[in-house]
């Protein structure tokens, strides 16, 4: 085994893309979600996010990190306009169109149309879900928290609606993400399926 120690000074002088790949994979596996939104003129938007994080269960809150210069800013503009958005798990059957939503399409073109993923509008929820996703979350925007150190934002929403296939819901409330085909992301572009290792009981001394 050849141990490599990389210090701050070396990270600072790395090629930009090399550093982005390294730092994006060093945090471990990430979730893969499609964020669906719509503006006040009815134009939809769909963007892949790998930074969704659990904020709390009661009330049920999820957050994501918004970069200052990233494509998904349209998503955030729509969220501010309507107050609502959706998160939809990427699964093995839609990995290619899901990744493709990160392309910079011309202004005015919806990523739903461009990638072939299907908009699903449900009565009473003002943002589009992704029909092909097996686990869909409708959220109400709660707050944006500025992260001044690098001009990013933590965007927090409260879960208003869950839409899922009942067979993935276990008796204890947990979802079988593996059977649902939900993917994990390594870095920016490497998608993985999950295989079962171990479910462990509540830990006691």
Residue 195 binding its own copies, by CB under 8 A: yes
Question: Is 2 or 40 the residue whose CB approaches its own copies more closely?
Answer: 2
In whole angstroms, the minimum distance from the beta carbon of 140 to its own copies comes to 9
Name which of residues 167 to 186 contact its own copies (CB under 8 A): 167, 169-170, 172-178, 182-184, 186
> Binding its own copies by CB under 8 A: which of 44, 73, 114, 118?
114
Name the one range near its own copies by CB under 8 A: 37-45, 73-81, 191-199: 191-199
Question: Is 80 or 170 the residue whose CB approaches its own copies more closely?
Answer: 170
In whole angstroms, the minimum distance from the beta carbon of 169 to its own copies comes to 7
User: If we measure between CA atoms, which residue out of 149, 177, 147, 151 comes closest to residue 164?
Assistant: 177
Name which of residues 151 to 170 contact its own copies (CB under 8 A): 152, 154, 156, 158-167, 169-170
> Binding its own copies by CB under 8 A: which of 81, 118, 142, 144?
142
Sheet holding 84-89, edge to edge: 44-49, 33-38, 84-89, 135-147
> Binding its own copies by CB under 8 A: which of 70, 92, 121, 131?
92
C-alpha distances (whole Å) from 69 to each of 43, 66, 76 are 21, 9, 12
Is the distance from CB of 55 to CB of 62 less than 8 angstroms? Answer: yes
- CA–CA distance, 156 with 61 (Å, rounded to integer): 7
Question: Is 9 or 40 the residue whose CB approaches its own copies more closely?
Answer: 9
Strands 129-130 and 119-120: antiparallel
Is the distance from CB of 45 to CB of 110 less than 8 angstroms? Answer: yes
C-alpha distances (whole Å) from 163 to each of 88, 131, 167 are 9, 10, 12
Name which of residues 61 to 90 contact its own copies (CB under 8 A): 61-63, 65, 67, 87, 89
Residue 43 binding its own copies, by CB under 8 A: no
In whole angstroms, the minimum distance from the beta carbon of 81 to its own copies comes to 21
Please name the residue that has the structure tokens 């938007």.
Answer: 45
> Binding its own copies by CB under 8 A: which of 70, 102, 118, 131?
102
Please name the residue that has the structure tokens 């392309």.
Answer: 103
Using only C-alpha atoms, the chain has a radius of gyration, in whole angstroms, of 18
């Amino acid at each position: 085994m050849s141990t490599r120690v990389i210090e701050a000074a070396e990270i600072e002088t790395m090629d930009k893309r090399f550093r982005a790949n390294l730092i994006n994979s060093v945090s471990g596996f990430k979730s893969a979600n499609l964020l669906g939104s719509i503006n006040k003129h009815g134009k939809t938007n769909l963007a892949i996010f790998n930074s969704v994080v659990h904020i709390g269960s009661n009330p049920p809150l999820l957050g994501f990190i918004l970069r200052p210069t990233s494509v998904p800013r349209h998503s955030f503009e729509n969220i501010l306009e309507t107050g609502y958005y959706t998160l939809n798990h990427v699964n093995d059957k839609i990995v290619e169109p899901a990744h493709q939503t990160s392309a910079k399409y011309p202004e005015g073109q919806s990523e739903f149309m461009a990638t072939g993923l299907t908009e699903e509008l449900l009565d009473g929820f003002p943002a589009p879900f992704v029909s092909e996703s097996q686990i869909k979350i409708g959220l109400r925007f709660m707050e944006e928290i500025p992260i001044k150190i690098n001009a990013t934002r933590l965007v927090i929403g409260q879960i208003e609606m869950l839409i899922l296939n009942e067979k993935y819901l276990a008796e204890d409330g947990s979802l079988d993400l593996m059977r649902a085909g939900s993917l994990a992301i390594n870095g920016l572009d490497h998608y993985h399926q999950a295989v079962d290792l171990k479910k462990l009981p509540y830990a006691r001394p």
